């Protein structure tokens, strides 16, 4: 079946502009995650959605970052007034969900964001 | 706090074993993972180990966990050129929030 897809694959923007990054999770996966991978760094957790529960936004680096998940499926990560330090690869993952057990996260190919 | 550290680079000859090491700081981690990232592809879960285990073997992969030293390793036997990738160690206390290391780039020389 189809995996996690993300669009666009590459985005170049100017400092101060807003950007929207999209994630289509695997069908039937109720959990969705966003991570950021900066050059030479590990993945940094940003936000997590599970069903109708309130999202865990503890990883969002500033109030310029927001994310929503509509209809329990597609998610959009929005970065307002982009800064050069926002340049990174933004990765989305989805999983099934069972509390207290490992829930394998399936990752998309990422969106490479470059802020000039 | 939570921190996961890995060496940045490892080079091995094809057919040799590779050992990628990782240290973590959170002793309450429940799960520890190894992910593989190939160029242009998403991260792929290779294997994981529960914190109450000290070893797990899966075909060419062997994971060793030393909880006392908070040290995790991934051994790849008979390393092939297709194993060249970046390998990420990750830990979690919950069922969802992963804390990743910065990744080890494995280069397999023919």
Could you report the per-residue pLDDT of B9-56, keeping only the tens digit for each? 999 999 999 999 999 988 787 889 999 999 877 889 999 999 889 999
Give the chain A residue whose CA is nearest to the CA of B89.
A42
Quick one: pLDDT at residue B42?
80
B96 vs A31: CB contact, 8 Å cut-off?
yes
Q: How confident is the model at residue B95 (pLDDT cuts 50, 70, 90)?
A: low
Mutate to test the interface with B, among A59, A102, A104, A112 (most CBs of B within 10 A): A102
Q: With helix as H, strand as E and coil as C, how does chain B read?
A: CCCEEECCEEEEECCCCEEEEEEECCCCCCEEEEEEECCCCCEEEEEEEECCCCEEEECCEEEEEECCCCEEEEEECCCCHHHCEEEEEEEECCCCCCEECCCEEEEEEC
Q: What's the confidence (pLDDT) of residue A7? A: 96
Tokens of B30: 């429940």
pLDDT tens track for A45-68: 999 998 888 899 999 999 999 999
Min Cα separation A102/chain B (Å): 6
| Residues from chain A contacting residue B101 (CB–CB below 8 Å) | 42
Which of B45, B48, B88 is closest, CB to CB, to A42? B88
| Nearest of A5, A92, A102, A9 to residue A45 by alpha carbon | A92
**pLDDT the model gives residue A72:** 77
- Residue pair A24/A107 in contact (Cβ under 8 Å)? The answer is no
Residue B2 reports pLDDT greater than 70: no
Please tell me if residue A71 touches chain B, with a CB cutoff of 8 Å.
no
Give the model's pLDDT for residue A37.
Answer: 92
Best of A26, A37, A41, A43 to substitute, by most chain B Cβ atoms within 10 angstroms, is A43
What are the average pLDDT values for consecutive 10-residue runs of chain A, which has 116 residues? 89 98 94 90 89 90 94 93 96 86 86 96
pLDDT in tens, B57-89: 999 999 999 999 999 999 999 999 999 999 999
pLDDT the model gives residue A35: 95
Both structure tokens of A35:
């991570």
CB A50 within 8 A of CB B96: yes
């Amino acid at each position: 079946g189809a995996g996690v897809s993300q669009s666009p694959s590459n985005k170049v923007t100017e400092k101060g502009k807003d950007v929207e990054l999209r994630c289509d999770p695997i069908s039937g996966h109720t959990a969705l995650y966003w991570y950021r991978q900066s050059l030479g760094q590990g993945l940094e957790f940003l936000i997590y959605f599970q069903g109708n529960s309130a999202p865990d936004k503890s990883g969002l680096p500033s109030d310029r970052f927001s994310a929503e998940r509509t209809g329990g499926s597609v998610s959009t990560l929005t970065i307002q007034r982009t800064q050069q330090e926002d340049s990174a690869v933004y990765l989305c993952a989805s999983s099934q969900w069972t509390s207290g057990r490992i829930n394998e996260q399936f990752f998309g190919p990422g969106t490479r964001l470059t802020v000039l | 706090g939570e921190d996961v550290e890995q060496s940045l680079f490892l080079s091995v000859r094809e057919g040799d074993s590779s050992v990628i090491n990782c240290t973590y700081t959170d002793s309450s981690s429940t799960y520890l993972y190894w992910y593989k990232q190939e160029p242009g592809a998403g991260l792929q879960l290779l294997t994981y180990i529960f914190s109450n285990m000290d070893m797990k073997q899966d075909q060419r992969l062997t994971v060793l966990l030393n909880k006392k030293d908070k040290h995790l390793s991934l051994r790849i036997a008979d390393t092939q050129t297709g194993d060249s990738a970046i390998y990420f160690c990750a830990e979690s206390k919950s069922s969802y929030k992963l804390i990743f290391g910065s990744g080890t780039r494995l280069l397999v020389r023919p």
